[in-house]
Amino acid sequence: MSEDLSRKKMATRLIHAGAEPDPSTGAIMTPIFQTSTYVQEAPGVNKGFEYARSQNPTRKALETAYAIIENGKYGLAFSSGVAVTDAVIKLLSPGDEVIAAQDMYGGTYRLFTKVFEKFGIRFKYVDTTVAENVSAAITPATKLVWIETPTNPLMNITDIAAVSAITKNAGAILCVDNTFATPYFQNPLDLGADIVMHSATKYLGGHSDVIQGALMMNSKDLYDQLYFIQKSCGAVPGPMDCFLVLRGIKTLHVRMKQHNENGYTIAHFLRKHPSVDKVFWAGFSDHPNHQIAKTQMRGFGGMMSFTLKDDSVEAAKKVLSSTRLFSLAESLGGVESLINHPASMTHASIPREERIKTGLTDGLIRLSVGIEDADDLVEDLKQAIG
């Protein structure tokens, strides 16, 4: 597409990002280039593609789209969200220090503590919703600050611009996990982040049929380093997976509008329910960081968590096993609604005492509100909670 998409609004960018008609057939959808290698005219003389771990035309189209939708210059696609996290940490050396949010996805915590600590990377966990905590934790060894906003599963909000100012002053890299908000609601690069990551398995793919991760950035130096890691370590997605995410991105705006609308309905229903204690959703005006969320986000989405007044595992399990439209499953961000028990599922790798300190209790229930009819979803939760 010859049109400059940087000047277009989000819906237009999402539909046209990375899309160029196939020159050989005119196909409007990017073909699935299912090949492992490419014929060369002579050694080193090729059409820009040598070996599919290094480059693939379908992946190239997706990586172009990734950059465009996050207002970045560069994008990289990986085989999973965890592979993305792995690649970013590989920018570091033994003795380097990472400041990370104390409330984050359990798989990220597992990778940090069970894998990279063995290689001499040090991790500090702080409450990043207070920017001064990040500033106080920084030392000369700090090379990376890693935040999620909103966080998984407690929906805490970090002021990206404030933390960015702190990291730039310290000469550290700021990486923001933007999976929950998506580029439709939030663009961390515009707020000063150096790297944005997504588990594209979630909202970017949007249909619970692909595993993939994404990185976006503006720095050519960071891109070159991360591309080298991608190529050398080999955690690349296949062309079919890239095709599926390209397809998913095209409808991100219409899906996120409905996730947001349904999320509003479900969050307010839960808050009024007599058996529900707390509802964690940044759209409430009394959420501790609601004003920051309003400033840096354009919507609050369909992710939320809640606890019952009977905050026991047994009470939670009764609800988890009683829903009919909300499916009990790992993951999130698909068109269908999912219900999850973080303590035993997505965050089971975090020691219980650490979970409890951050507010992730044994009875916490997480919802990924889909795009079904909101009235049907309310009825489902009503009969499940009782």
The residues annotated with a catalytic role in the active site are 53, 105, 177, 202
Angle at alpha carbon of residue 144, lines to 288 and 91, rounded to 5°: 145
Angle of helix 81-89 versus helix 106-114 axis, rounded to 10: 40
DSSP-H helix ranges across the chain: 10-16, 57-69, 81-89, 106-114, 131-137, 160-170, 182-185, 220-233, 239-249, 252-272, 290-296, 313-320, 352-358, 374-385
Taking each helix axis from N to C end, the angle separating 374-385 and 252-272, rounded to the nearest 10 degrees, works out to 40
Distance CA 120, CA 83 (A): 19
Beta bridge partners of 365: 306
Torsion on CA atoms 293, 295, 297, 303, rounded to nearest 10: 10
- Give per-residue burial for 254-292: e unless 16+ CB within 10 Å, then b: ebbebbbebbbebbebbeebeebebbbbbbbeebebbeb
Q: Parallel, antiparallel, or unpaired for β 74-78 and 195-199?
A: unpaired
Burial class (CB in 10 A: 0-12, 13-18, 19+), 8: middle
Contact 271, 287 (CB under 8 A): no
The Cα–Cα gap between 86 and 70 comes to: 21
Residue-wise burial string across 138-162, b where 16 or more C-beta atoms lie within 10 A, e elsewhere: beeebbbbbbbbbbbbbbbbbbbbb
